[in-house]
Each structure stands twice: as structure tokens, then as C-alpha cells.
Structure 1
Amino acid sequence: MDEVELANPLGSKKGKHKVSVFYWTLMNLPPKFRSSLRSIMLLGVLSSDLLKQRGTAVFLKSFLSDLIFLRDGVILTVRNESLKWYGILLHFVGDIPASNFIAEFKEGVGAANLPCRSCMIIRNDLETIHLESDCILRNKISHEAQVSQIECAENQTAAQKDSISTRFGVNCRCIFTILEYFDATKCFMHDLMHVSNEGILNKEIALLLKYLIEHPIIKLDLNIVNYKISTVKSSRECTIPPPIRKNEVLELKKFSFSSSEISSLSMCLALVLGEFVSDDDVHYANFLLLLEILASLQSYQFSEQDLQMLAKNIELHNRNHVLLYPKPLDSDSKSITPKHHSLLHFISQIKMFGPPRYSWCMRYESLNSKFKKIMRRNSNFITSLSLWLHTIRNSLAYT
């Protein structure tokens, strides 16, 4: 699932034409074919406001019925041979709000005492626990007990029920739990693209540049950095990142870059900043460690030794991050964000579902971008939703 903003995301119509898009992919296909846009099938599109108003159970009712048929087996005749075929819903991918919304966890991570849908870590422990083995993991049994307790609170006041829901970080029962094989605490994956490119990398690039600009000796000139980035040549095709704005860095605002632009920017910065910063600078070294972690997570295969080294690097990076970029004492926010914490769970996720690159949202975003470009070009945001739906139907019918 992904939410697509069809109007100008910075204009007055922001959110008015936002739609929720659902896709599905057949995982039996080899990864090189699975990542093709022709292999991504449209399940449905509807207004995001309508989805939240009516709920996922109404919209996904027919899809869930099909999954129940596939679970029990469907007899198909192929080349005059009748066989019984089975199918399962392997996992669900999306950004943190989308996954939490479908899984019926608290959509805003700040609205729950337990901000993670994979473990029971409390918000105050985000900066002190950096290994998954130190976390109490959620599981199917404990999750069912929490959901049952929330359902038993129907006769209580709304405030009492909300208190229980906030304590567990759970709203209600996920619709997919009717499939006995589906575990809502495991099958809603942490998406590498949203966790890294649109989360951790975006934040840490701003923190590093702010530190270097305000450093009394280095006094980094952002104009020079932007120029040098524009001159970097690559032997392979890559997205050229736009110039970095100084006010966004100093105010620690989220860069309005695409996922691919952030990825390219991080690689360019690793090269360019080497001219201004010594290798023993701990801030620069921790940034390079993050790039090593994210490069490892994009591997095509993993050994047990690779996963052990990855867990150690994640622990080291997160510990250093707390020391290098502490939050002000008068702030309720944490130095370690929920996306930093999500890195801890990639080890077990890889053991269950394989390399993250085979399931991340990058290719789904590519399919969305095709239609968002049409909206920007025609500048007709009043009829944008109907035009977008017409275009995507024609495109998928063609493929």
C-alpha cells in the first residue's frame, strides 16, 4: 500500500486529492522478473479519506475472500491437467504509517508507549537498546492476548479503552489474522527504502552537514559542496541529486528529495566530504558506517557471518549516533528515531523473508511516479483523481 499525493505537495490543495493505492506481486516469479513493472498488479485505488472512514475490512473484503479460497486450495485445469493450487499472503510492505494502519497498530509512532510493531520496546528505551536480542519481541500469542483485552473493553468508557490501546500500541484486530498462517507481528515488513533513504539517511545527512558548517575549524561551505557534487561522474546511470539548501540543513528540515536522489546524494557526499574532513572525525566515520550498513542490507544474499557483522555494525552506529547527536534536555523527542530502531529487526526479517531488496517499495514507487508526472504536467488538480484512475487502468490493461 502507498499513499499518492496528486496535487502539489507544497500547495494549498495538499491532501485533498490523496489516494491510497494497493498492489500485489506474485512471489513465485524470479526476483529479476518480479521487479519488472509489468509484474506489479493493481489491486485497487481509492480516496485515502474514504479508506480511513470506512476501514480496510470493507475495501479488502473481496481480496480476503480470495485469499481464503487460495488457502483451502483451488482446482485449475492447465493444459488438460487438473491440479489443486494453493496460495498464501506472504507479507505486506509499505511505509510505517501504511503498514501500521493495515496491521491495526498505532499509525503515529508518537501516539503509543510501544512504538514498534515488532517488539515491546518502550519509547524511553530507544536510546539504550541497540540489539534485537535485548528486546522483548511481539509474537502471535501475546498479540492475540492484547487484542482480546482491547475487544473486552468495549463496555468500558472510550477513555479507558483508548488507554489500553495506547499502552499496547494496538488499535484492534488485523483483518488478515483470519488467515491462521499470517502473523501480524512478523509479516508486516520494515521497508528498506522508507527506513533508509526516506528516513535515516535524510536525517543524518542534515545532521552531519549542520555539524560541519558550524564547526569552528572546518566551516564547511555548502556552495562548494554543491558544486563538487554536480561534477561527480559515475560509470553507471544514477539520479543526479539537486542542490542542498542551507536553510534546510541548519533548521534540520527533511530534504524534499526522492528516494533515489537521497541515495545518490549520500554516495556523492562520502566522496566530496573526504576533501574537507579527516578520516578520524567521528561524525564523518559514523556516516560512512551507516553507508556500509545500508549497502550490506542491499546485498543479494547473506551468510550467517554477514548477519552477525551487520548486527554489530548497527549496534555500533546507533550507540555512536546517540553520543554524537544528543537531543536537547527540554525536548520530548529521541535521538534514536523509530526508523533507526527498525534497523535492529532487519536481521530476523532477512532470515524469514530473504534479502530486503527483493521486497522493498522502490519498484512500486516507480509505478506511482509515472502517473504523478502526468498530474504535474496537466496542472488540472480538480479532475486529477478521475484522470489518474483512467490512465492507470489503460496502462495496466495494455501491459
Structure 2
Amino acid sequence: MSATYMYNCSMCPYFGKTKEEILQHLVRRHKNEPKFKVHCSKPGCGSSFNKIRSFSQHLYRKHSSDVLSEIESDEEATTEEMSFTCEDISNEELTPEQDRKRSEAQFLLKMIADHNLSQRAIEDIITSTKLMLNEQSNMIKLELSKNIPENIFLQLDFNQIFRDASFCGLETQHLRERYFRDKLGYIKPVPVKLGSEFIQKRLKQKYRFVEKEHYGYYIPLFQQLAELLKMPEIKDELNKETENTFEINDFYDGSYYQKQYFQDHRNALLFCIYYDDFEIVNPIGSHKKKHKLSIFYWTLLNITPEFRYKSAATQLLAIAKATHLKKYGMKALFEDFIHSMQELHRGKVLTINGEIQTVYGTLYCVIGDTPAAQYLGGFKEGVGNAEKPCRVCEVSLENIDYSFSDRVSKLRNEEEHRDRCGILEELKGKTLQYWSKKYGVSRRSELLDIPEFEVTKCILQDPMHVLLEGIVKLELQLLLTSFIEKKKYFTLGDLNRKIKNFSYTVEEGADKPQVLEKKALDIKKNFPMSAVETKNFMTLLPFMIGNEIEEDDENWKNFIRLLKITLLVISPVASSNTIMSLRQLIYSHNYSFRKLYPEVLFTPKLHYLIHFPDQILKFGPARNHWCMRMEAKHGLFKNKKWKNFKELPLSVALHHQRWMCLQQCGSNGKTEVYLYTGDSVSYGVEWHVQQLSDTVRNTLLIHNPEFEAQQVLQSNQIEIKGITYRPGSVLIEDYAEGDIAFLIIKHMFIFNNKKYLECSRLEILFYDRSVNAFACKVVSENETVCICTQDLKYKWPQIMHSINGTIFIMLANVDFCWD
């Protein structure tokens, strides 16, 4: 069998000979998958599509004249010679009836979990479909009776044929839930009694006191783990070897990972849990916080940072009403998790895909906002009511104003903390209140029962809440008040016009800063921007007003320090340069803040800032510690329209588990695209090889020694693991101590699933401290370099904007800052 090329499915190992075969396969196997994405496999193309219809139109418009696989003879093209396909798996594991029922169940699950249809709507769909098929059955019977001999016609059981193809065995909610559990890996939440109270209830014309029990819900950890470890991508992530580098790229590169347990069990599962209170509705007035929920998630730190906090990779641990959790505590809710961690520490035998494995693991860290983190660790939630307001060090409340370095305050000792918790358990009344306030500890945390976990070290500070939701908003209010009302650099109207008329990039435009009202500058009120909007406003403010500020303005200098601190802390890469720079910048910033704004209270978040260098040194880049992506998962519940609020925690848990079951389902078992569906490539123009510059052709030959293609795809947008590249994006070509080189993308090409960037070099004119950016110009439009995206050291595009015709580039997502 000879072929120009075969059509291969990017979601499973299927190969087809014709366009029709690949399209039929996608409709039959993958149309109900939640992460549908298909790539054109024609050499020189590589475009990606999220809809079958778009892919079909692309094939018939762009590749309609291609010569596909031609069978030279029946002897040469046999079934045995065909490549491994999805259909091969299906025929071995499922009968046609079972395969059809699975497809129907997955369709119903998609309607319930992805499109938020009610159980009543699902049953209406089933009933209507049955009626439609019955009518079609009668019509087909009538037509066939005219053309088929009577003795053959009577042998056909049309009712049985259409009954088997119409959701048989899935008619009721009970049957559907049972099928989801037995065949698709659905895990049902388990209720646990948190406590009870006596309430007045009218019974037989009289009011009586009756006991009302309050429940929370948890998801059995080992059941979740067994399903998760069946994912092919998760298996690959666990078997991935880590490289020893001088950079700090992840938890494995931190000093805390050098503990003996982790060195003895290099493949141990490292768990991270997150806790938050949120509302799925936005009530006003007296009903505010009526439906507030406390939710716990967990994820595996063994997963690559790019995919670790994706909604599908983040599992539900437990959920309860916030009022019930605060009243009765979290001991009962966490009992399964604590017990599971203890078993995993010793080694737990699990059966995964029929293979018996001994799995090790433990809780590695906890993330959350300050009140949530304090509660999980057993510390005072209201840090203003504690003499020791920091869970990391022993700094006192009266000395917190002058703690500008982490080397000044003594760190909390884990053994001493456990002793203090033991003392508090024996005390009562005012004595308990006194020592609780003295220690800054409310109770003994349930997390202390987890082996290898240290509450004084492993409950991490969150960059999003400490910086973007805290210090940055406060300093923006103080800075703008000073510039507008005291120094008269510009007016609020001038600033708002700049915010409106600024030339935002596509990414910045999705979360561009809001126009500010006068009350937004009042420090007693909240700054009206989300965390992402605040981050964008902070980084773009120098481009907006930097040239209007006096060169020696101390307020502006301190803001630039805070900008550098923020960019270093939220960077996905770090090194020893990061640690040293942060320590110096944080000390200078906090010291200057105290002098510049003496009328403002020195908030605890300014103190928490000093612990970030040590946290990065121990646990890796702080971007991997923030709650941004975890909070984004709340949207799964907020976007659903809830009508019944009775036993809301159960409803939310059920919705999540159905959705998670859908994410893990594939056409024949567990999905191959659980974490990543592949790079996104926008279709552009096919370039003939002769149109390429010598630089691009030479680079293609280096990476593809047998390069013989006639055409390559030129695209205007490429997304690789969440990083988007476009013509005009600026990248770092090289960085050496005291020297840096920038590139600006001119064209982007795709060949053999690799992405190549043709770039022009930029010449640095000078570094502008007032803007915290480099002024640059293009060296030559004709002189270009070509780089494969795999070879980039700093993969992230830099922040680039033009001021008065000059290109200014601000460093971002790097491990160093410039000064």
C-alpha cells in the first residue's frame, strides 16, 4: 500500500485512508468528548480545530485535490496491515451493543455535566428520541415491505433493533447513575455528619423542638486516585524524570524536597490542598452569605506546572456549608483524607488497570488566602487579634512595623508549635484565651496528624492575595491620591482617558483595567479591580504616566520597586538571582513605604512579603503557589443556574463529580487528552519552500535532516501550553550577566508538528528607570534569525508597548530584574 500520507486522529491512535474515514471516526468516537481538538496531519499544514464542522470545511477547501492512500492490490492492503486503531480496541473490549450504550451514556453525561441540563430535561430527551425512532421504524418498515419478500421481511424484528438503539437501560436517573459508576468511573460523594442542633418545627398544630443534623460531603481519596492514575497522561507525568539544573523551576528544585522521605521515595505522590469560602449566587441585603460554601480541592504536584492547576486536574476533596464548618470544625470532614495520607505514607497497594502497584505519597503543601490558610493551620484567622500574627515566624504585633527582612525575626519551630498546641488542649476559659492570643494559635490543626507535614513551613503565602489583592491595591490608591490631589501631575479624568485609549494587546484587552471613580482612591474602600485587572493596570501604568512623573519622585521609585517584586514573585521561573534581588527589593520597599506613608497602618501583608524569598528557595517559583487557577474553578459552579438550594453542598458535589467523570471519559475508556489537547495553530497561508528565507530553510534542515516538503504553513497565532505567540511578540534571545538580547517575531511557520519563529533582532537604546523598560529599535528588517520554540530558554513573550514611536520592553516571566 503506497500513500502520500495518512489521516491520523490526534485524540487516539487511529489512522484513516480518506477524508470520509477520518470524519466518520471523529463523529462516531469523539463528538461527545469535552476537550475535542483535531489537528490536520497533512505535511506542511498542522492547523488545529475545535469543531468537526470546521475541520471538515478545512479539508475540502484546502486539501480537496490531494492524492490519498491508494490500495495497489487486495493482497497488499489487508486488515492486518492497517495501523493500530480505536476500532481495534473497541472490538476487543466491547460488543457493538455495549459500545452503543456507552456512547449514549456519554452523550447524556455531556448534556448533564457540560450543558447543565436537569434530570427532567434528560428524560424528556430520551422520551422524545424514542418516539422519533419509533416513527422512523414504522416508516422504514412500510418502505421495506414493498421491496423485500414477505418471508424475509417477517424475520426482521424492527422493534428490537430500534429499542436497543434508544437509551435502553438509561431511562431513569438511578439507572444512569449506576451506569456512570460501573462503566465510566463516576464517584459519588459520601455524606458525613458534622453536628446537629435543635430547631423549632411545627408538627400537628404545635411547635416542637426537633433535632436537625448537618452534613458535609467528601469524595473518597483512594477511589479518586485509582481513576486518576488510569489516565495515560498522568502515568507519563509520574514516570517523567526531573533534570538537575541551576534554575528553580518547580517543587523538585526547592530545598524542602531534600528531606529524607522524598529522597527515599522519588516517585512519591505529592499532594497540594486548597481551601476557600465562596458563594455560587450573588444575593444582596439580609441574604448575603446565606449560601456560602466551604470547599476543598486537591491536586498532584507531580503534574507539570502548565497543567497542574487546570480545572480537570483539580479534584474535589470535600465541601460543606461555611457556617457548619466554622461551628463544628473540620475533623469529621477530613477524616478520610487524613487516614488516606497516613496509609500512603506507609505505602498503599492499589489496583490500576489490572496491575497491582504500591503507591507512596503525602501532603506536601497547602495554599489559600490568609484566613483560609490560618484556619487550616489552626492559627488565628483574624491576625490583628494575635500577639504573633505570622504563621511562619515569631514576630510580635508591636514589632511588625519594623520587620523588613526575614532574617530579623525568628522562625517558628515545628516541635515547639506542637508543644504549644498540646498546652492549649489542656487549658480552659480565660487562661486558654490568653495563651491562644499569646501564641497566635487557636487550636491543634488536623493536618498535624499527616506524616511529614509541617504546618509552620508548608502552608504557603499566596502571591495573588498578598500582592494583587492586598499590597498592590493599597499602594496604587496611595500613589494615585498623591499624584492627583497633592502633586497635581494629572487629573483623574486624564488618567481615565489614558485607560480608555491605551493600545492593549489581545491578552491585556481580555482583562483591561477599569475606569476609576474618585471613591476608588479611598483606602477605606476596596480598589474596584480583579486580581488580573490589577496586575495589568500595575504593569501598564508606567507606559501610561511614566513620562509625566518627576525623575526623583520617591513615591514613584517605590512603586517601581513593588512592580519588580510582583513580576519576580509571579514569574514561573526562579534562580539564586531571584532570591537575592527579592530580599534587597523587599527590604528597600518596606522601609521606604514606612517613611512615605506614615499615616497608613503597616498591614500584616507587607510583613508576609518578606517570607517569599525563603518560600521560593524551599518550594520553587511562587507562581506555582498562587490561588488564581484554583479560584477559577469556582466558575464551574457559579455558571450553573441553581434553582433548588436545599442541601446545596450535595448538589454542588454531585455536579462536580459528574463533570469530572465526563473529563476523564474517552471513546474507549480513559481519555488520551485529559491534561492537554495539543498546541493550537490558527490556519494561515501555505508558503512554498522557495518563498522562505535562507535562514528559515537552514533551520528547517537542521531540525529535519530529510526535509523535502514543498510547502509549510505560515500562521498568525500559535498557542503552546497556554503561551500565545503572534507576529510582533518580543522574546529574549539570550541573557548573560549584564547583557540581554531581544527578538521580535516577524513570521511563524509550522512543519512536522514543530513551530519555527522567524525574528528580527532589536537593538537596545537605553534603559528607562521611570518606565522600568528598555527602549529598543529594530536592527534590520532584512537580517533575521529563526528559532524553534523548543529551543527557547525564556518561552514567554515580554511586555511590549510603543511610546512616541519608540518600542519599550518590560521584563516579565524571568528570574531576574534590571536596575
| Residue 319 of structure 1: how far off its partner (Å) | 0.5
Aligned: 1:285 with 2:557: yes
Residue 204 of structure 1 is aligned with which of 463, 469, 475?
475
Aligned: 1:227 with 2:497: yes
For the residue of structure 1 that corresponds to 2:632, the secondary structure is helix
The residue type paired with residue 222 of structure 1 is L
Q: Hey, what does 1:186 align to over in structure 2?
A: 457
CA–CA distance in structure 1, aligned partners of residues 355 and 646 of structure 2 = 48
How many residues of Structure 1 are paired with residues of Structure 2 in the alignment? 386
CA–CA distance in structure 2, aligned partners of residues 201 and 83 of structure 1 = 48
- Gap change, CA 1:88 and 1:77, over 3 Å in 2: same
CA–CA distance in structure 2, aligned partners of residues 69 and 216 of structure 1 = 63
- Gap change, CA 1:392 and 1:171, over 3 Å in 2: same
- Gap change, CA 1:271 and 1:16, over 3 Å in 2: same
Q: Hey, what does 1:331 align to over in structure 2?
A: none
The residue type paired with residue 479 of structure 2 is L
- Percent of aligned positions with the same letter in both sequences? 32
Residue 570 of structure 2 is aligned with which of 268, 287, 298?
298
**Conserved? CA contact 1:241–1:261, under 8 Å:** yes
Aligned: 1:100 with 2:374: yes
Describe how 1:127-166 pairs up with structure 2 within 5 A: 127-154=401-428, 158-166=429-437
Q: Hey, what does 2:315 align to over in structure 1?
A: 41
- Gap change, CA 1:49 and 1:79, over 3 Å in 2: closer
Describe how 1:237-386 pairs up with structure 2 within 5 A: 237-238=507-508, 239-327=511-599, 334=601, 336-374=602-640, 385=648
The C-alpha deviation readout for 1:259-278, integer Å capped at 9, x for no partner, is: 11111121222322214322
CA–CA distance in structure 2, aligned partners of residues 275 and 374 of structure 1 = 46
Q: Hey, what does 1:14 align to over in structure 2?
A: 288
CA–CA distance in structure 2, aligned partners of residues 364 and 52 of structure 1 = 22
For the residue of structure 2 that corresponds to 1:2, the secondary structure is strand
**Conserved? CA contact 1:311–1:347, under 8 Å:** yes
**Conserved? CA contact 2:574–2:621, under 8 Å:** yes
CA–CA distance in structure 1, aligned partners of residues 361 and 414 of structure 2 = 21
| Residue 116 of structure 1: how far off its partner (Å) | 0.4
Describe how 1:382-397 pairs up with structure 2 within 5 A: 385=648, 388-389=652-653, 391-397=655-661
**Conserved? CA contact 1:100–1:107, under 8 Å:** yes
| Residue 382 of structure 1: how far off its partner (Å) | 5.5
| Residue 292 of structure 1: how far off its partner (Å) | 0.4
The C-alpha deviation readout for 1:227-269, integer Å capped at 9, x for no partner, is: 2112222334121122112113135412232211111121222
| Residue 30 of structure 1: how far off its partner (Å) | 1.0
- Gap change, CA 1:49 and 1:35, over 3 Å in 2: same
Describe how 1:56-67 pairs up with structure 2 within 5 A: 56-67=330-341
The residue type paired with residue 110 of structure 1 is G
Describe how 1:74-93 pairs up with structure 2 within 5 A: 74-78=348-352, 81-93=355-367
Aligned: 1:172 with 2:443: yes
TM-score normalised by length of structure 1: 0.91
CA–CA distance in structure 1, aligned partners of residues 564 and 528 of structure 2 = 24
**Conserved? CA contact 2:499–2:514, under 8 Å:** no
| Residue 325 of structure 1: how far off its partner (Å) | 0.9
- Gap change, CA 1:202 and 1:373, over 3 Å in 2: farther
Q: Hey, what does 2:816 align to over in structure 1?
A: none
Q: Hey, what does 1:124 align to over in structure 2?
A: 398
The C-alpha deviation readout for 1:269-324, integer Å capped at 9, x for no partner, is: 23222143223211111111101001011222322232012101000000011111
CA–CA distance in structure 1, aligned partners of residues 305 and 487 of structure 2 = 49
Greater shift after overlay, 74-83 or 163-172?
74-83
**Conserved? CA contact 1:17–1:384, under 8 Å:** no
The residue type paired with residue 518 of structure 2 is K
The residue type paired with residue 343 of structure 1 is L
The C-alpha deviation readout for 1:171-194, integer Å capped at 9, x for no partner, is: 121111112311110111001111
The C-alpha deviation readout for 1:321-346, integer Å capped at 9, x for no partner, is: 11111126xxxxx3x21111111111
Instruction: Give 1 or 2 for the bigger CA radius of gyration.
Output: 2
The C-alpha deviation readout for 1:55-106, integer Å capped at 9, x for no partner, is: 0111111111111111111123456654321011001100000010111100
**Conserved? CA contact 1:193–1:362, under 8 Å:** yes
**Conserved? CA contact 1:100–1:106, under 8 Å:** yes
**Conserved? CA contact 1:302–1:355, under 8 Å:** yes
Segments of 5+ residues of structure 2 without an aligned counterpart are 1-274, 664-819
**Conserved? CA contact 1:75–1:85, under 8 Å:** yes
For the residue of structure 2 that corresponds to 1:135, the secondary structure is coil
More strand by share: 2
**Conserved? CA contact 1:206–1:252, under 8 Å:** no
Aligned: 1:398 with 2:672: no
- Gap change, CA 1:259 and 1:10, over 3 Å in 2: farther
For the residue of structure 1 that corresponds to 2:366, the secondary structure is coil
- Gap change, CA 1:29 and 1:382, over 3 Å in 2: closer
| RMSD across aligned positions (CA) | 2.1
| Residue 149 of structure 1: how far off its partner (Å) | 2.2
| Residue 381 of structure 1: how far off its partner (Å) | 8.8
Segments of 5+ residues of structure 1 without an aligned counterpart are 329-333
**Conserved? CA contact 1:101–1:107, under 8 Å:** yes
- Gap change, CA 1:118 and 1:12, over 3 Å in 2: same
**Conserved? CA contact 2:473–2:527, under 8 Å:** yes
- Gap change, CA 1:312 and 1:53, over 3 Å in 2: same
CA–CA distance in structure 2, aligned partners of residues 222 and 302 of structure 1 = 37
CA–CA distance in structure 1, aligned partners of residues 338 and 612 of structure 2 = 27
**4+ runs of 1 displaced by more than 6 Å?**
none
| Residue 153 of structure 1: how far off its partner (Å) | 1.8
